Chain A
Amino acid sequence: DSGVTQTPKHLITATGQRVTLRCSPRSGDLSVYWYQQSLDQGLQFLIQYYNGEERAKGNILERFSAQQFPDLHSELNLSSLELGDSALYFCASSVGGTIQETQYFGPGTRLLVL
């Protein structure tokens, strides 16, 4: 158990819909990262937040957005969903915000868009 929690574990929705994925980092960690894992693209970094502020951006689509709240939990919002958005979405956390630090990954949310 990494100490990172993600909800929900599974999500099934339809194309065009909007969903919100939630992540709670390990106690004491200030940085949260979001990753997408699909069969064809592998694990891809989406976005990083540190203490409430956006810190780094990866391959995040414009239809996707994220935020980190004062209690440090984070939400990833996916809108206008397409079939290709079906994937595993992982959240990770680290103490500070630098890439050298160990990242602790949650169990993931499996999203299926029908």
Chain B
Amino acid sequence: DAKTTQPNSMESNEEEPVHLPCNHSTISGTDYIHWYRQLPSQGPEYVIHGLTSNVNNRMASLAIAEDRKSSTLILHRATLRDAAVYYCILITGGGADGLTFGKGTHLIIQP
């Protein structure tokens, strides 16, 4: 899988929007961009994924740059429960394999 680069940590205030960036300059045309997050003392959980167009779901929005070399996960109104490590993962093809997690971004939410 192609490599992603994320900031080690970010801090935001409760009830404010949060924009988590991910750079993936070597992305290929068939790579999907997936985001997972891991809350303290829990297993990772799926957040959102996309290919080319921006995506929205009940948890977050995913904004994908036109050249697809970067993307941004948007939490519209952060709560304390959103404090977690967020992983941006590129997934190629439809074969079998496990996920390759990088170090992710540690999101800190201040009350």
Residues of A near any B CB (own CB < 8 A): 2, 4, 31, 33, 35, 42-48, 50, 55-56, 58, 90, 92, 97-100, 102-108
Contacts and interface: CB of A to CB of B under 8 A. Distances in A.
Contacts of A55: 96
A45 B98 CA distance: 6
Interface of B: 32, 38, 42-46, 49, 87, 91-103
A42 B43 contact: no
B102 A42 contact: yes
Most chain B CB within a 10 A radius of its CB, from A46, A48, A102, A106: A102
Contacts of A43: 38, 44, 87, 99, 101
A77 B38 CA distance: 25
Given A99-B92, A100-B94, 8 more contacts: A33-B98, A42-B101, A43-B101, A98-B95, A100-B91, A100-B93, A104-B46, A105-B42
A45 B97 contact: yes
B96 A48 contact: yes
B1 to A, nearest CB: 9
Contacts, number: 71
B29 to A, nearest CB: 15
Contact of B94 (A31, A47, A99, A107): A99
Given A2-B43, A48-B96, A108-B43, A99 B91 contact: yes
A106 B102 CA distance: 19
Contacts of B87: 43
B43 A105 contact: yes
A107 B43 contact: yes
Contacts of B45: 2, 104-105
Contacts of A46: 98
Nearest to B103: A42
Contacts of A99: 91-99
B77 to A, nearest CB: 24
